[in-house]
Chain A
Amino acid sequence: MSQVLVITSGKGGVGKTTTTANIGTGLALYKHRKVVMVDADIGLRNLDVVMGLENRIVYDLVDVTHGMCRLKQALIKDKRFENLYLLPAAQTKDKTAVTPDQMKKLCEDLRKEFDYVLIDCPAGIEQGFKNAIAGADRAIIVTTPEVSAVRDADRIVGLLEASGFEEPKLIINRIRPDMVKRGDMMNIDDMIDILAIELLGVVPEDEKIVISTNRGEPAVADEYSRAGQAYRNITRRIEGEDVPLMTIEEVEPTFMDKLRMFFGLKARRVKGEGARWTF
């Protein structure tokens, strides 16, 4: 049965697009699910760049919803990861170019072709947010361990509940174990305690995210990335597996990681069936 998941946050810049790219790639890699990632951030498209697919765009989401092209024509197939597709956002239009009803229709059409439809929601709670959640079954809320981000996440929980969403799940991004240990960053329990929603995963702050974004290759495919490891765990949880949270020690780069970084060794791509899903 296919699922439509929206990745949202309220506050901007907390890692929605990064999360969408990594979960999308993770699901396609892990069990070869057929996945489409939809960039709903119309006017500020990003997901194509994070995925390194920006040079392959011909048509976009607005073209599809306005009947300017067929859905299949606008879907970009990722040649590196089998079964992974992207539906890019329009860059020249704005958020009012699409309505919630059109998004619902789009999600229904995509659902027929894919196991997972992931929607990268724009920041804010206005039209773009309403569009992004319109056709979704479930929601994943991304936050960072900061007062303003958690506050906005709480607001989103309320809005999602009001729109009939059941049990949104939380991803805490950019956690820094060293700061948590010092007591200078809210820990996982603090945030779960306050938001009172279920945790889907915790992603550490990781410079590999910046490097992988530079390259246009999601960190989930990088065997040595701690954030990539966190996204691999999240992928498995979405697949229904019971995967324990990484401990603080596991989250921190190991001595070998640091050594590799020091010598500037390149990331190793996860290849083949379920290969290198080290936990």
Chain B
Amino acid sequence: MDFLKIFGREDVTSKDIAKERLRLILVHDRANVSPKFLEMIKGQLINIVSDYMEIEEEGMDIKLTRIKKDEETTVPALVANIPIRRMKHLAKI
């Protein structure tokens, strides 16, 4: 169920709102509790992306944050900044 749809609507029960809020809260909580989590994602991202481009691992920045969905609401987001040094030939396909 979509977070934004749930709020403005009248026919949605309060427990659906509770559940959706809880789900989003736990996205952050779980990532913050485990420092290994982001490192794991980072490692796997490097693997995948490296097939197509040469990247600058030192300059990589991955974080879990919130982004604005509209004027009033923010949602959790995984933001990855991956500097590219060179594209591999594969990318031309």
**A residues bordering B, Cβ < 8 Å?**
146-147, 150-151, 154-155, 158-159, 180, 182-187, 190, 194
B78 proximal to A (CB < 8 A) = no
Residues from chain A with Cβ under 8 Å of B86 in the complex: none
Interface string of B1-35 (1 = CB under 8 A from A): 00000000000011110110111011001100110
What is the CA–CA distance of A147 and B23 in the complex, to the nearest angstrom?
A: 9
Residues from chain A with Cβ under 8 Å of B18 in the complex: 146-147, 186
Residues from chain B with Cβ under 8 Å of A155 in the complex: 29, 33
Question: Which has the most chain A C-beta neighbours within 10 Å: B13, B18, B22, B29?
Answer: B22
Closest 4 CB pairs of A and B: A183-B13, A158-B33, A186-B15, A184-B14
Q: In the complex, are the beta carbons of A154 and B26 less than 8 A apart?
A: yes
Q: In the complex, are the beta carbons of B30 and A190 less than 8 A apart?
A: no
The B interface is mostly helix, strand or loop, or mixed, namely: helix
Residues from chain A with Cβ under 8 Å of B33 in the complex: 155, 158-159
User: Measured between C-beta atoms, what is the minimum distance from B18 to chain A in Å?
Assistant: 5
Q: A147-B21, A158-B33, A158-B34 are in contact. Are A194 and B26 (CB under 8 A)?
A: yes
What total of A-B pairs shows CB separation below 8 Å? Answer: 40
> Interface size for chain B: under 10, 10 to 19, 20 to 34, or 35 or more residues?
10 to 19
What is the CA–CA distance of A122 and B22 in the complex, to the nearest angstrom?
A: 24
Q: Which of A147, A183, A184, A187 contacts B22 (CB 8 A)?
A: A147
**B residues bordering A, Cβ < 8 Å?**
13-16, 18-19, 21-23, 25-26, 29-30, 33-34
Q: In the complex, are the beta carbons of A186 and B34 less than 8 A apart?
A: no
What is the CA–CA distance of A159 and B33 in the complex, to the nearest angstrom?
A: 8
Residues from chain B with Cβ under 8 Å of A183 in the complex: 13-16
Q: In the complex, are the beta carbons of B15 and A147 less than 8 A apart?
A: no
User: Measured between C-beta atoms, what is the minimum distance from B1 to chain A in Å?
Assistant: 12
The chain A residue with its CB closest to the CB of B23 is A194
User: Measured between C-beta atoms, what is the minimum distance from B89 to chain A in Å?
Assistant: 43
Q: In the complex, are the beta carbons of A154 and B13 less than 8 A apart?
A: no
User: Measured between C-beta atoms, what is the minimum distance from A126 to chain B in Å?
Assistant: 15
Q: In the complex, are the beta carbons of A184 and B21 less than 8 A apart?
A: no
Q: Which of A147, A151, A182 contacts B13 (CB 8 A)?
A: A182
What is the CA–CA distance of A185 and B16 in the complex, to the nearest angstrom?
A: 9
User: Measured between C-beta atoms, what is the minimum distance from A176 to chain B in Å?
Assistant: 11
Q: In the complex, are the beta carbons of B19 and A158 less than 8 A apart?
A: no
Q: A151-B29, A158-B30 are in contact. Are A194 and B22 (CB under 8 A)?
A: yes
What is the CA–CA distance of A183 and B16 in the complex, to the nearest angstrom?
A: 8
Q: In the complex, are the beta carbons of A184 and B13 less than 8 A apart?
A: yes
Residues from chain A with Cβ under 8 Å of B34 in the complex: 158
Residues from chain A with Cβ under 8 Å of B15 in the complex: 180, 183-187, 190
What is the CA–CA distance of A210 and B29 in the complex, to the nearest angstrom?
A: 34
The chain B residue with its CB closest to the CB of A182 is B13
Q: In the complex, are the beta carbons of A151 and B30 less than 8 A apart?
A: no
